[in-house]
Chain A
Amino acid sequence: MSSALIADITAPSVNYYMLAPILIVLGGAVLSVLVEAFYPRESRRSAQIALVLTTLVVAFLAVLNIKVDAILGFTIVNSLAIDGVSVFLQGLIILSALVGALLISENRIDPLGDAFAAQSSALPGSEDELAFTERGWYQTEIWSLFLFSVGGMLIFPIANDLLTLFVALEVMSLPLYLLVGMARRRRLLSQEAALKYFVLGAFSSAFMLYGSALVYGFANSVELGDIAKALSASAANSNLMLVGGIFILIGLLFKVGAAPFHQWTPDVYQGAPTAITAFMSAGTKVAAFGALLRVFYVALSGLAWDLSAVLWAIAIITMLVGTIIGVAQSDIKRMLAYSSIAHAGFLLLGVIAQSKAALDGSLFYLAGYAFTSLGAFAVVSLVRDASGEANHLGQWAGLGKRSPVIASVFTLFLLALAGIPLTSGFVGKFAVFAAAYEKGLAPLVVVAVIASAIAGFFYVRVIVLMFFTDASGDEVSVVVPSFATAAAITITAVVTIVLGVIPQPVFDLLSNALFLK
C-alpha cells in the first residue's frame, strides 16, 4: 500500500548554490569535529584555526557567488528565502565571524594561553586545572562550536517559516551557551553567566514556540507569507494571531537584547570570554535583527497597528534602560553591554518604521555596529593587569598617556557607538532616525536623540578618563597582541571610518535588499 504512496512524495528541489554558504559552514563544523577526534593534540589547534578561517573565507566567496540581481527565490519548499536582505546579512555575519575567529585565536595576550579554560570540565581552582594549564593544553572544541553557531546565525535571518526559524535559533544559541561558560579567568563568573543565558534563553524560546503554535492555529501554516495572507484575509480568531505574534516577538526581542528582556545581556557580556562577547555582540545582534526584520516586514505587517503600542513601549524602555543604567556602570564590559541594549532600542525604530528606507538604514546600522562592537571588545581584551583583564573603569584612567595608539583607537570606537559624524555609527543612526521620522514616528525619534545624548555622556566619560585623568596607580598595561588581534582591530577601525566617510557604496549595495514575500 505504501510503496505507491512513497512515490507520490516528490523530493524538493534544492538550490545548492543559494544554500552554499550554510552548507559550507556546517560542513566545516562537522569536519572540525573530525579534526578534534583524529588529530594529535600538538597540531590540533593550528589545524582547527586553519580549517575555520578557510571555511569562513570559502563561505564568504559562496555568498558573493549568489547574484543579488539575478532571480532569487525560496528554496526547499519555501522554508528558506534567499533575497537581497539575506545575502547582505549572510555576508555581514560571515565577515563578523572572520573577525571574531581572529580574536578567538589570540593566545599571546594571556601568558597562560588563549581566552578559554585549558579544560572546561576541570573544576575551577582544582589541581587538575592547574596541571592542564601548566601543560599548555587548549580546549580546541571551541572551534567546532563556533562554526555551528555561525551556521545557525546564517540560517536564522533567512528562515521563511517559524519552524525553521526556531531550529535556527537553537542551532545558533546552543553553542553560544557553551562558549560563554568556558572563560579561562574568573571561571565561576563565566559559568554563572552561561547558566543564566541558558535558562533565560530556553525560557524565551519556549515563548516563541508557544507563539508559533498559536499562529499556526490562526493561519493553518507556519510560513511567513501564508501568515501575512491569512492576516489580510480573515478576522476570525484574530486573538490567536495577536497573542502568538507577541510571543514570537518576545523570543526574538530576547535575542536582540531589548528591554524588558535584556536582563541576561550585562551578565553574559561580562562573564563570557571577551572574544566570545565580541563575536556575540556582533553576530547574534545581526542574525537576530535580521530575523526580527523579516518576521515583522514579511509576516506581521498586517498586525503592525495592533502591535504598535507594545513596540513603541519596548523601544522607548530599551533606549532609556540601555542609556540610563549604562551611565551607572563601573565595569567596561557591562557598560558596553548596556550600550548594546541601547543600540537594540535605536534599531527597533527601523523595525517599527516599516519602509524601504528604514530597512536600508537598519541594515547599514547593523553593519556599522557589528564592526565597531567587535573592535571595542577587542581593545578591552588588551588592557590587562596581573589577574587578567582590567575591566574596572577606574583602571583605565591615564591609559592615553601610556598607550596613546590603543586609547585613540578605543576613542574612535566609542565615538562611533555614540554616533559622532565621520563614523559609521552616525550614518547608521541618521539613516534609521530619518526613515522613522518620515514615517511619522517623531516622538520616538525625539526619545532616541535624547537617549543618544545620555549615551554620549558615558562614552565621553571613558575618553576623559583615558586622556585627562592621572593613573590611579594600579598596574595596568596594554599587552602587545599577536598578528590576529592586531589585524582584527585594524580591520574594524578602518571599516568604522570608511563606512562613516563614504557610506554610499554600501547603500548602493542595499538597493537590491528587499524581502521576498
Chain B
Amino acid sequence: MVIAFWICAALAVFGALGMVFSKKAVHSALFVALTMINLAVLYAILEAPFLSMVQIIVYTGAVMMLFLFVLMVVGVDSSDSLTESIKGQRVPALLGASALGVILIGLLGNITMTNIGFDQAYVAYDGNIDALAGLIFTKYLFAFEATSALLITAALGAMVLTHREHAEKPLTQRDLSVLRFKSGNHPGSLPSPGVYARHNAVDIPALLPDGTMAEISVPKPLAARGAIRLIDLASKDEVQALNRGEAVITSQSTDRVEE
C-alpha cells in the first residue's frame, strides 16, 4: 500500500507539474487526466471504491472530455500568449510558493494519522456506498440540497453569458430570396465579360444574343474609370453569324476601338 502510494503520488504530482509547464493545451489536458487517474487509484487504495470510480467517470471521463471539446472548438493549434502582463511577478511568486511549500512540509511533515474514518463508517453502515448515503441524506442533507442552488446558478450564468437572443427574427433563405427579387437589382450572378464578344478580357462587355452590349458584365470600377473597351460595331454581324452557326472564331485580335 505504501509502495503504491508513492508511485501514484509521484505520478500525480508529475501530471500536475506537466499540466502547468506544457505549452500545448492538449498536453495540459492529458496531464490532468494522468493526475486524476492517479488520484482515483489512491482513493481505491484507501478503501473508497465509490469515490474512486466517480473520480474516473466524472473527472477523467466527463470533465476532461469537455476540456478537449472546448480545445477542439477553440482550435488545437492556438497557443496561449506567454507574454507577462504583470512585469517581474514570476520571481516573487516562485519565492512565495516555495516558502509556502517549505512551511507546509515543515509543519505537516511530522503528522501521524490513523485510518479510522472508514472503520467507523463500515461499522455503522456496512459498506462504502451505504455510508455515503447515510451521510448525504442525514448529516449533510442541507449542504447537499444547497448544492442544487449552485447548479441552477451555474446553468443560468452560462446562459446569461453565452446565449445570444436575436433582436429580430433571423431571415430565412426564402426571405432572403424574396428580398433579392423585390429589390429590383439583377437577381442572379452577373454575366461575365467578353462572352460572345471577340475577346475575353474583363474590360470588354459581353454581347447579348441580339448583339447589343451588356454593360452590366463589366466590373463597376472599370466602368467608373471609363476603361471599358467597346467592340467595333462590325463585330455585331460576326456575332450574329456566330450565333447562327455560320462562322467560327479564328483569331484573338485585340484591336482597340476609340471611344
A residues adjacent to B (C-beta < 8 A): 1-2, 5-6, 8-12, 14, 26, 29-30, 33, 76-80, 119-122, 128, 131-132, 135, 137, 139, 141, 144-145, 148, 151-152, 155, 161, 163-164, 167-168, 170-171, 174-175, 177-178, 181-182, 214, 217, 220, 236-237, 239-240, 242-243
Contacts and interface: CB of A to CB of B under 8 A. Distances in A.
A5 B129 CA distance: 11
22 contacts: A1-B126, A2-B130, A5-B125, A5-B126, A9-B125, A26-B149, A120-B160, A120-B161, A121-B160, A132-B167, A135-B167, A137-B167, A141-B156, A141-B159, A167-B150, A171-B146, A171-B149, A171-B150, A174-B153, A237-B113, A239-B107, A239-B110
A163 B135 CA distance: 12
Contacts of B103: 243
B85 to A, nearest CB: 11
Contact of A128 (B104, B134, B167): B167
Interface of B: 103-104, 107-108, 110-113, 116-117, 125-127, 130, 133-134, 137-143, 146-147, 149-150, 152-154, 156-157, 159-165, 167-168
A164 B108 contact: no
Nearest to B158: A178
A217 B111 CA distance: 10
A178 B149 contact: no
Given A79-B141, A79-B143, A152-B149, A8 B125 contact: yes
A10 B135 CA distance: 11
Contacts of B104: 243
A243 B105 CA distance: 11
SS class, residues of chain B in contact with chain A: helix
Q: Please indicate which of the listed interface residues A151, A170, A242 has the most CB atoms of chain B within 10 Å of its own CB.
A: A170
Given A135-B167, A239-B110, A77 B157 contact: no
A80 B156 contact: no
B164 A122 contact: yes
A76 B142 contact: yes
Contacts, number: 128
Contacts of B107: 239, 242-243
A5 B130 contact: yes
A10 B149 contact: no
Given A77-B138, A131-B167, 11 more contacts: A9-B134, A9-B138, A30-B152, A77-B141, A79-B142, A144-B156, A152-B149, A164-B140, A164-B142, A171-B149, A174-B157
Given A76-B142, A121-B163, A175 B157 contact: yes
A10 B107 CA distance: 40
Contacts of B113: 217, 237
Contact of B165 (A33, A119, A152): A119
A139 B139 CA distance: 38
B153 A77 contact: no
B91 to A, nearest CB: 18
Contact of B139 (A1, A12, A121): A12
B153 A171 contact: yes
B149 A148 contact: yes
Contacts of A121: 160-164
B138 A168 contact: no
B141 A76 contact: yes
B19 to A, nearest CB: 15
A76 B108 CA distance: 33
A177 B127 CA distance: 40
B125 A155 contact: no
B151 to A, nearest CB: 10
Residue in A5, A29, A242 with the greatest tally of chain B CB atoms within 10 Å:
A5
Contacts of A171: 146, 149-150, 153
A76 B139 CA distance: 7
A181 B157 CA distance: 11
A69 B168 CA distance: 58
A175 B160 CA distance: 11
Contacts of B146: 26, 152, 155, 164, 167-168, 171
A108 B258 CA distance: 69
A5 B121 CA distance: 13
A128 B134 CA distance: 51
Complex A-B, nearest 8 residue pairs according to Cβ-Cβ distance, in ascending order: A131-B167, A239-B107, A121-B164, A77-B139, A164-B143, A178-B157, A167-B143, A76-B142
Contacts of B164: 119, 121-122, 128
Nearest to A142: B160
Contact of B112 (A26, A139, A164, A237): A237
A409 B162 CA distance: 40
Contacts of B149: 26, 29, 148, 151-152, 171
A183 B4 CA distance: 52
Nearest to B167: A131
Nearest to B125: A5
B152 A33 contact: yes
A379 B243 CA distance: 83
A171 B142 CA distance: 13
B152 to A, nearest CB: 6
Contacts of B154: 174
A6 B127 CA distance: 12
Given A11-B138, A178-B160, A240 B167 contact: no
Contacts of B167: 128, 131-132, 135, 137
A12 B111 CA distance: 35
Contacts of B147: 167
Nearest to A223: B139
B137 A11 contact: yes
A217 to B, nearest CB: 6
Contacts of A1: 126
A169 to B, nearest CB: 10
Contacts of A240: 108, 111
Given A9-B134, A122-B164, A167-B147, A79 B139 contact: yes
A161 B139 CA distance: 10
B75 to A, nearest CB: 19
Nearest to A162: B143
Nearest to A75: B142
A178 B152 CA distance: 13
Contact of A239 (B111, B143, B168): B111
Contacts of A236: 112
Most central of B116, B134, B139 by chain A CB within 10 Å: B139
Contacts of B140: 79, 163-164
Contacts of B130: 2, 5-6
A461 B25 CA distance: 51
B208 to A, nearest CB: 41
A80 to B, nearest CB: 6
